Amino acid sequence: MSEGTPLLQASGISKRFGGVHALEDVDFGLAAGEVVALAGDNGAGKSTLIKIISGVFPPDGGTLFYQGSRVAFANPQDARARGIETIYQDLALADNLDVGANVFLGREPMTRRFGLPVIDRRRMRAEAAMTLDRLDIGLDRLDRPVSALSGGQRQCVAIGRALHWNARVLIMDEPTAALGVPEQRKVIALIQSLKAHGVGIVFISHNLADIFAVADRIVVLRRGTNAGERTRAATNPDEIVRLMVG
């Protein structure tokens, strides 16, 4: 493991679907301010593992420790409430709402006007702007629907929202897949900035260049088991590929 108390620790995780072992005795750890890339071929068990961590499935065996105590998430909302947030590419934002409204979706601040309770849009925009500034996400206008933003900018807004609500662990599933090169760089830069804020990041990508650009550590899964684990400095893409294909 890396230095410091692990923020999240999964030990001996197993999961079966019918007769198929999707995961068999898998270990996975993540420290605050650390980026761990989860690598593996299709069907290696990457998405099953992150779904267990984010509360979508309960594991059949093994234990989850989060911030020092043992946890069992009832559902994804439960995991999110405790600060484990997954960033999905398509499901993240309501395209027709502006940035502030998306950051605050479901938790809108209210104010009063003429004695009537109204949504405080000005505050939503201001606070969203603050959060985005803190992460160095530059958006020129926050009052336009997010459909007017680029894919990378939307990704940033989704991440900004998670951070605004104090996410401690961010799970990012192929965050750069649908983006152009400059956009990918923006997301990679944001991940660096999140690290600096002490957020633990689980990063899934098929793109080895991306993995090597951001990850501190690389955990490789193969057919539902741990196939190896390397710090970035101590490995190279060829070795990771060998671990993936076995």
Partner 1 sequence: MSTTATVAARQSSRVPLLAALAAARAWLFLIVLITVFEIWARVSFGASFVGNLFNLRSVAVFAVAPLLLAIGQTFVIISGGIDLSVGFTMGLAAIVLAHTVNLATPALGTGAGLLVGVAVAVLASMIPGVVNGLLIARLRVPPFIGTLGMYGVARGVAFLLAGGTTVPVSNAALNYIGNGQLAGFPVVVLLTVLALLVLHYLLSQSKFGQYTYAVGGNRAAAVRAGINVRSVTIRLYVLSAVCAGIGGILYTGRFSAGAAQAGEPLLLDSIAAVVIGGASLFGGSGTIVGTLIGALIVAVIQYGLVFINVEPFWQFVAVGVVIIISVLVDQSQRRLGGGRVDE
Residues that bind partner 1 (CB under 8 A): 76-77, 80, 88, 90-98, 101-102, 105-108, 110, 113, 116-119, 121, 143-148
CB of 12 to partner 1, least distance (A): 29
CB of 107 to partner 1, least distance (A): 8
CB of 152 to partner 1, least distance (A): 16
Structure tokens at 184: 């990918």
CB of 200 to partner 1, least distance (A): 20
CB of 97 to partner 1, least distance (A): 5
| CB of 3 or CB of 90, closer to partner 1 | 90
| CB of 11 or CB of 150, closer to partner 1 | 150
d(CA 6, CA 65) in angstroms, rounded, equals: 9
What does each C-alpha distance from 7 to 30, 200, 204, 218 come to in angstroms?
A: 6, 7, 18, 17
CB of 159 to partner 1, least distance (A): 14
Continuous H helices in the chain = 46-53, 76-81, 99-103, 121-134, 151-164, 181-196, 208-214, 237-245
Question: For the stretch 92-110, what's the b/e string if a residue is b when 16 or more beta carbons lie within 10 angstroms of its beta carbon?
Answer: bbeeebbbbbbbbeeeeee
Structure tokens at 90: 């398509």
| CB of 165 or CB of 212, closer to partner 1 | 165
| CB of 96 or CB of 207, closer to partner 1 | 96
Q: What count of residues does the chain have? A: 246
| CB of 63 or CB of 96, closer to partner 1 | 96
Neighbouring C-beta atoms of residue 142, cutoff 10 Å: 19
| CB of 70 or CB of 113, closer to partner 1 | 113
What is the three-class DSSP state of 165?
coil
